[in-house]
Amino acid sequence: MKYHRQELVIGKEAQQLLKKSKVTIVGLGALGTVVANLLARAGINLILIDRDIIEENNLQRQILYTEADLNKSKALTAKNKLKLINKEIKLEAKEFHLNHKNINQISSDLVIDCTDNLKTRFLINDYCKKNNLLWIFGSAIKEEGQVKVFLPNEECLNCFLTETNLDTCELVGVLNSITSIIGSLQADLAVRILTNKDFNKNLTYVNLKNNKFRSIKINKNDNCKACNGNYKHLDKEDSKLIKFCGSNKYQITGKPLPINKIKKINEKFNNITLFEDGRALIKANSEAEAQTIYSKHIGN
Protein backbone atom coordinates (compact mmCIF):
# COMPACT_ATOMS: atom_id res chain seq x y z
CA MET A 1 0.00 0.00 0.00
CA LYS A 2 3.09 2.21 0.03
CA TYR A 3 2.29 3.68 -3.38
CA HIS A 4 -1.51 3.72 -3.07
CA ARG A 5 -2.04 7.46 -3.61
CA GLN A 6 0.37 7.49 -6.54
CA GLU A 7 -1.22 4.42 -8.11
CA LEU A 8 -4.61 6.14 -8.03
CA VAL A 9 -3.13 8.67 -10.46
CA ILE A 10 -0.71 6.68 -12.64
CA GLY A 11 -2.20 3.17 -12.36
CA LYS A 12 -0.90 -0.12 -10.92
CA GLU A 13 0.85 -1.18 -14.12
CA ALA A 14 2.76 2.09 -14.27
CA GLN A 15 3.89 1.51 -10.67
CA GLN A 16 5.31 -1.86 -11.74
CA LEU A 17 7.27 -0.06 -14.47
CA LEU A 18 8.72 2.33 -11.89
CA LYS A 19 9.75 -0.62 -9.73
CA LYS A 20 11.87 -1.96 -12.61
CA SER A 21 13.34 1.43 -13.54
CA LYS A 22 16.74 2.79 -12.73
CA VAL A 23 17.61 6.48 -12.93
CA THR A 24 21.02 8.16 -12.64
CA ILE A 25 21.13 11.47 -10.83
CA VAL A 26 24.28 13.47 -11.53
CA GLY A 27 24.83 15.98 -8.73
CA LEU A 28 23.27 15.73 -5.28
CA GLY A 29 23.03 19.43 -4.54
CA ALA A 30 19.98 21.69 -4.58
CA LEU A 31 18.24 20.04 -7.56
CA GLY A 32 19.61 16.54 -7.00
CA THR A 33 18.40 16.21 -3.41
CA VAL A 34 14.88 17.27 -4.44
CA VAL A 35 14.84 14.87 -7.40
CA ALA A 36 16.31 11.98 -5.36
CA ASN A 37 13.88 12.55 -2.50
CA LEU A 38 10.84 12.47 -4.81
CA LEU A 39 11.98 9.57 -7.00
CA ALA A 40 13.01 7.41 -4.02
CA ARG A 41 9.57 7.92 -2.45
CA ALA A 42 7.96 7.13 -5.81
CA GLY A 43 9.70 3.73 -5.78
CA ILE A 44 12.47 4.19 -8.39
CA ASN A 45 15.97 2.64 -8.14
CA LEU A 46 18.72 5.25 -8.21
CA ILE A 47 22.40 5.73 -9.02
CA LEU A 48 23.66 8.79 -7.12
CA ILE A 49 26.76 10.56 -8.43
CA ASP A 50 28.48 13.44 -6.67
CA ARG A 51 32.10 14.53 -6.20
CA ASP A 52 31.57 16.98 -3.37
CA ILE A 53 31.14 17.22 0.41
CA ILE A 54 28.38 18.96 2.38
CA GLU A 55 29.01 22.55 3.50
CA GLU A 56 27.08 24.83 5.80
CA ASN A 57 25.83 27.08 2.98
CA ASN A 58 24.28 24.02 1.26
CA LEU A 59 21.70 23.42 4.00
CA GLN A 60 19.45 26.31 2.90
CA ARG A 61 18.40 24.36 -0.22
CA GLN A 62 19.89 20.82 -0.25
CA ILE A 63 16.99 19.14 1.45
CA LEU A 64 18.44 15.73 2.33
CA TYR A 65 21.21 17.09 4.59
CA THR A 66 21.32 18.32 8.18
CA GLU A 67 23.87 20.12 10.35
CA ALA A 68 25.15 16.73 11.52
CA ASP A 69 26.22 15.93 7.92
CA LEU A 70 28.73 18.76 7.40
CA ASN A 71 31.95 17.69 5.63
CA LYS A 72 30.52 14.27 4.71
CA SER A 73 30.29 12.98 1.13
CA LYS A 74 27.07 14.08 -0.61
CA ALA A 75 26.62 10.85 -2.59
CA LEU A 76 27.00 8.57 0.46
CA THR A 77 24.97 10.76 2.80
CA ALA A 78 22.14 11.01 0.27
CA LYS A 79 22.16 7.22 -0.12
CA ASN A 80 21.94 6.70 3.66
CA LYS A 81 19.06 9.19 4.00
CA LEU A 82 17.13 7.67 1.10
CA LYS A 83 17.54 4.18 2.57
CA LEU A 84 15.64 5.39 5.63
CA ILE A 85 12.90 6.78 3.38
CA ASN A 86 12.41 3.68 1.19
CA LYS A 87 14.13 0.38 1.92
CA GLU A 88 12.52 -1.33 -1.10
CA ILE A 89 14.55 0.48 -3.76
CA LYS A 90 18.14 -0.19 -4.90
CA LEU A 91 20.55 2.66 -4.29
CA GLU A 92 24.11 3.03 -5.53
CA ALA A 93 26.35 5.91 -4.45
CA LYS A 94 29.30 6.92 -6.61
CA GLU A 95 31.65 9.38 -5.01
CA PHE A 96 33.43 10.54 -8.12
CA HIS A 97 33.95 13.40 -10.48
CA LEU A 98 32.04 12.37 -13.62
CA ASN A 99 34.41 12.35 -16.60
CA HIS A 100 34.90 10.71 -20.00
CA LYS A 101 36.53 7.67 -18.37
CA ASN A 102 33.87 6.77 -15.79
CA ILE A 103 30.71 8.00 -17.55
CA ASN A 104 30.10 4.45 -18.87
CA GLN A 105 29.09 3.58 -15.30
CA ILE A 106 25.79 5.28 -16.10
CA SER A 107 23.78 2.16 -16.86
CA SER A 108 20.21 3.29 -16.41
CA ASP A 109 16.99 4.08 -18.23
CA LEU A 110 17.30 7.81 -17.77
CA VAL A 111 19.91 10.38 -16.71
CA ILE A 112 18.99 13.50 -14.74
CA ASP A 113 21.41 16.40 -14.79
CA CYS A 114 21.42 18.17 -11.44
CA THR A 115 24.91 19.62 -11.78
CA ASP A 116 25.91 23.24 -11.57
CA ASN A 117 28.33 23.32 -14.48
CA LEU A 118 28.14 23.27 -18.26
CA LYS A 119 31.22 21.13 -18.74
CA THR A 120 29.55 18.11 -17.14
CA ARG A 121 26.32 18.85 -19.02
CA PHE A 122 28.11 18.76 -22.39
CA LEU A 123 29.71 15.47 -21.36
CA ILE A 124 26.29 14.01 -20.45
CA ASN A 125 24.85 15.37 -23.71
CA ASP A 126 27.51 13.65 -25.85
CA TYR A 127 27.29 10.40 -23.90
CA CYS A 128 23.49 10.21 -24.08
CA LYS A 129 23.44 11.13 -27.78
CA LYS A 130 25.99 8.45 -28.59
CA ASN A 131 24.26 5.77 -26.49
CA ASN A 132 20.64 6.65 -27.35
CA LEU A 133 19.76 7.62 -23.79
CA LEU A 134 17.22 10.18 -22.66
CA TRP A 135 18.34 12.84 -20.24
CA ILE A 136 16.71 15.70 -18.36
CA PHE A 137 18.53 19.00 -18.05
CA GLY A 138 17.78 21.37 -15.17
CA SER A 139 19.25 24.61 -13.88
CA ALA A 140 18.30 27.27 -11.36
CA ILE A 141 19.82 30.59 -10.36
CA LYS A 142 18.47 33.46 -8.28
CA GLU A 143 14.69 33.24 -8.78
CA GLU A 144 14.58 31.56 -12.19
CA GLY A 145 15.20 28.19 -13.72
CA GLN A 146 14.71 25.89 -16.68
CA VAL A 147 14.04 22.26 -17.44
CA LYS A 148 14.20 20.29 -20.68
CA VAL A 149 14.23 16.66 -21.68
CA PHE A 150 16.58 15.66 -24.49
CA LEU A 151 15.68 12.71 -26.71
CA PRO A 152 18.40 10.84 -28.63
CA ASN A 153 17.30 11.70 -32.17
CA GLU A 154 16.04 15.20 -31.60
CA GLU A 155 17.55 18.57 -30.69
CA CYS A 156 20.27 18.50 -28.01
CA LEU A 157 21.92 20.83 -25.50
CA ASN A 158 24.72 21.57 -27.95
CA CYS A 159 22.15 22.75 -30.53
CA PHE A 160 21.39 25.87 -28.50
CA LEU A 161 24.22 26.36 -26.02
CA THR A 162 27.81 26.96 -27.09
CA GLU A 163 31.06 26.46 -25.28
CA THR A 164 31.53 30.19 -24.92
CA ASN A 165 29.17 29.83 -21.97
CA LEU A 166 31.69 27.44 -20.40
CA ASP A 167 33.91 30.05 -18.81
CA THR A 168 31.24 31.88 -16.89
CA CYS A 169 31.62 30.88 -13.29
CA GLU A 170 30.43 33.53 -10.94
CA LEU A 171 28.93 33.34 -7.50
CA VAL A 172 25.21 34.04 -7.77
CA GLY A 173 22.57 33.40 -5.21
CA VAL A 174 19.60 31.08 -5.48
CA LEU A 175 16.32 30.65 -3.61
CA ASN A 176 15.24 27.26 -2.30
CA SER A 177 11.78 27.81 -3.78
CA ILE A 178 13.09 27.81 -7.37
CA THR A 179 15.40 24.79 -6.85
CA SER A 180 12.44 22.86 -5.36
CA ILE A 181 10.23 23.75 -8.33
CA ILE A 182 12.84 22.87 -10.96
CA GLY A 183 13.74 19.61 -9.17
CA SER A 184 10.04 18.73 -8.92
CA LEU A 185 9.56 19.39 -12.66
CA GLN A 186 12.53 17.11 -13.41
CA ALA A 187 11.14 14.35 -11.16
CA ASP A 188 7.70 14.71 -12.75
CA LEU A 189 9.16 14.38 -16.27
CA ALA A 190 11.09 11.29 -15.15
CA VAL A 191 7.95 9.53 -13.86
CA ARG A 192 6.02 10.40 -17.03
CA ILE A 193 8.82 9.14 -19.29
CA LEU A 194 9.36 5.92 -17.32
CA THR A 195 5.65 5.08 -17.36
CA ASN A 196 5.17 5.87 -21.08
CA LYS A 197 2.85 8.81 -20.44
CA ASP A 198 2.78 12.00 -22.52
CA PHE A 199 5.32 14.64 -21.55
CA ASN A 200 6.34 18.13 -22.60
CA LYS A 201 9.37 18.12 -24.93
CA ASN A 202 9.77 21.90 -24.87
CA LEU A 203 12.01 23.82 -22.53
CA THR A 204 10.09 25.02 -19.49
CA TYR A 205 11.25 28.37 -18.17
CA VAL A 206 10.13 29.52 -14.73
CA ASN A 207 10.58 32.96 -13.22
CA LEU A 208 9.26 33.43 -9.70
CA LYS A 209 9.85 37.17 -9.71
CA ASN A 210 6.86 37.72 -12.00
CA ASN A 211 5.26 34.30 -11.47
CA LYS A 212 5.93 33.28 -15.08
CA PHE A 213 5.91 29.77 -16.58
CA ARG A 214 6.81 29.55 -20.27
CA SER A 215 7.10 26.62 -22.67
CA ILE A 216 9.74 27.28 -25.34
CA LYS A 217 10.33 25.17 -28.46
CA ILE A 218 14.04 24.51 -29.16
CA ASN A 219 14.97 23.73 -32.76
CA LYS A 220 17.53 21.25 -33.97
CA ASN A 221 20.66 22.99 -35.27
CA ASP A 222 21.92 21.44 -38.54
CA ASN A 223 25.49 22.46 -37.72
CA CYS A 224 25.46 20.93 -34.24
CA LYS A 225 28.55 18.74 -33.76
CA ALA A 226 26.95 16.30 -31.33
CA CYS A 227 23.92 15.82 -33.60
CA ASN A 228 26.34 15.02 -36.44
CA GLY A 229 28.16 12.32 -34.49
CA ASN A 230 31.13 14.36 -33.27
CA TYR A 231 31.31 13.65 -29.53
CA LYS A 232 34.36 15.68 -28.59
CA HIS A 233 33.51 15.93 -24.89
CA LEU A 234 33.92 12.17 -24.63
CA ASP A 235 37.64 12.30 -25.48
CA LYS A 236 38.61 15.36 -23.50
CA GLU A 237 41.17 14.66 -20.77
CA ASP A 238 40.22 16.18 -17.45
CA SER A 239 42.58 18.74 -16.05
CA LYS A 240 44.40 17.68 -12.89
CA LEU A 241 43.26 20.81 -11.10
CA ILE A 242 39.67 22.05 -11.21
CA LYS A 243 38.18 24.99 -9.31
CA PHE A 244 34.64 24.35 -8.11
CA CYS A 245 32.19 26.99 -9.21
CA GLY A 246 31.20 29.58 -6.62
CA SER A 247 33.47 28.34 -3.83
CA ASN A 248 37.05 28.39 -2.62
CA LYS A 249 37.39 24.67 -3.28
CA TYR A 250 39.89 23.06 -5.64
CA GLN A 251 39.93 19.46 -6.82
CA ILE A 252 43.35 17.94 -7.46
CA THR A 253 43.52 14.44 -8.91
CA GLY A 254 46.51 12.26 -8.04
CA LYS A 255 47.29 8.60 -7.44
CA PRO A 256 44.91 6.76 -5.07
CA LEU A 257 46.36 6.37 -1.57
CA PRO A 258 45.90 3.53 0.95
CA ILE A 259 42.73 3.85 3.01
CA ASN A 260 44.54 4.28 6.35
CA LYS A 261 46.57 7.19 4.94
CA ILE A 262 43.37 8.78 3.58
CA LYS A 263 41.74 8.54 7.00
CA LYS A 264 44.76 10.05 8.74
CA ILE A 265 44.93 13.03 6.38
CA ASN A 266 41.17 13.67 6.53
CA GLU A 267 41.23 13.64 10.33
CA LYS A 268 44.27 15.87 10.63
CA PHE A 269 43.43 18.66 8.15
CA ASN A 270 40.04 20.34 7.98
CA ASN A 271 40.87 22.04 4.67
CA ILE A 272 41.54 18.70 2.91
CA THR A 273 39.13 15.89 1.96
CA LEU A 274 40.76 12.92 0.25
CA PHE A 275 38.73 10.30 -1.63
CA GLU A 276 39.59 6.68 -2.44
CA ASP A 277 39.80 7.40 -6.18
CA GLY A 278 42.78 9.72 -5.67
CA ARG A 279 40.92 13.02 -5.69
CA ALA A 280 41.58 15.67 -3.08
CA LEU A 281 39.25 18.58 -2.34
CA ILE A 282 41.26 21.45 -0.93
CA LYS A 283 39.99 24.70 0.51
CA ALA A 284 42.34 27.50 -0.49
CA ASN A 285 42.38 31.12 -1.59
CA SER A 286 44.14 30.49 -4.89
CA GLU A 287 45.21 27.76 -7.28
CA ALA A 288 48.82 28.15 -6.15
CA GLU A 289 47.87 27.82 -2.49
CA ALA A 290 45.84 24.67 -3.25
CA GLN A 291 48.80 23.17 -5.05
CA THR A 292 51.16 24.01 -2.19
CA ILE A 293 48.83 22.39 0.34
CA TYR A 294 48.56 19.31 -1.88
CA SER A 295 52.31 18.80 -2.31
CA LYS A 296 53.04 19.47 1.34
CA HIS A 297 50.51 17.06 2.87
CA ILE A 298 49.58 14.55 0.17
CA GLY A 299 52.37 14.24 -2.37
CA ASN A 300 53.46 15.47 -5.76
Residues that bind Zn ion (CB under 5 A): 156, 158-159, 224, 226-227
Amino acid at 203: L
Nearer to Zn ion, 181 or 226 (CB): 226
Nearer to Zn ion, 28 or 224 (CB): 224
**Least Å from the CB of residue 129 to Zn ion:** 7
**Least Å from the CB of residue 113 to Zn ion:** 15
Distance, in Å, from the CA atom of 142 to the CA atom of 111, rounded to the nearest integer, reads 25
Nearer to Zn ion, 182 or 224 (CB): 224
**Least Å from the CB of residue 149 to Zn ion:** 14
105: nearest Cα among 18, 24, 36: 24
Nearer to Zn ion, 156 or 206 (CB): 156
Stated as kind and residue range, the H or E segment containing 272 is strand 272-274
Amino acid at 254: G
Q: Is the dihedral of CA 55, 287, 114, 206 positive or negative?
A: positive
Nearer to Zn ion, 34 or 156 (CB): 156
Side-chain-side CA neighbours of residue 5 (13 Å): 2
Stated as kind and residue range, the H or E segment containing 74 is helix 74-85
Nearer to Zn ion, 125 or 139 (CB): 125
Nearer to Zn ion, 157 or 282 (CB): 157
What is the four-CA torsion angle of 257, 248, 112, 145, rounded to 10 degrees? 180
**Least Å from the CB of residue 159 to Zn ion:** 4
Burial class of residue 170 (count of CB atoms within 10 Å of its CB; 0-12, 13-18, 19+): exposed
**Least Å from the CB of residue 168 to Zn ion:** 21
**Least Å from the CB of residue 68 to Zn ion:** 44
Q: Lay out the sheet containing 241-243: strands in order across.
A: 241-243, 249-253, 279-283, 272-274
Burial class of residue 245 (count of CB atoms within 10 Å of its CB; 0-12, 13-18, 19+): middle
**Least Å from the CB of residue 230 to Zn ion:** 10
